[in-house]
Amino acid sequence: MAQSKPISKRIVLVVEDEPLLRMMAVDLVEDAGFEAIEATNADEAVAILESRTDIRIVFTDIDMPGSIDGMMLAAAVRDRWPPIEIIITSGHRRIADLDLPERSVFFPKPYDSTKLTATLHRMARH
């Protein structure tokens, strides 16, 4: 008889420097049925990605302190971790689809939690 693998939660890395916004994003991710891991900036996110192989989706703000912003993080994720899906958000910028890395989605802040949850579920199926 074959052993069945336990069903593990899909993991989303939430990258947001503003504590309240990060907490709200983590709540949204967890309410959608995912496990959230938090990073306060893109540099921390890269360190987490380098140490883990179970992250399926990166949900990042654009404007953050540190050596790289969210757009540079998204480009690095696409280059170094191609299977990971990417959600990019900003309350200050609007990004055209042509400027996004492949297989990434942009949500302006404040984002629609229903649409964001649907996007998380769609990305997790890939």
Q: What is the CATH number of the domain that holds 116?
A: 3.40.50.2300
Task: Tell me which of 68-72, 78-82, 85-89, 100-104 is least confident.
Answer: 100-104
Residue 71 belongs to some domain of the structure: yes
The whole-number pLDDT of residue 87 equals: 96
Domain contains 3: no
Cα dihedral 80/20/36/93 (nearest 10): -40
The residue type found at 68 is: I
The whole-number pLDDT of residue 1 equals 47
Domain assignment present for 5: no
The predicted pLDDT at position 98 comes to: 62
The total of structural domains in the chain comes to 1
Confidence of residue 19 (pLDDT cuts 50, 70, 90): very high
Strands 11-15 and 104-108: unpaired
Can you say whether the dihedral through the CA atoms of 53, 62, 80, 96 is positive or negative? positive
* pLDDT above 80 (res 69): yes
Question: Does the residue 22 lie in any domain?
Answer: yes
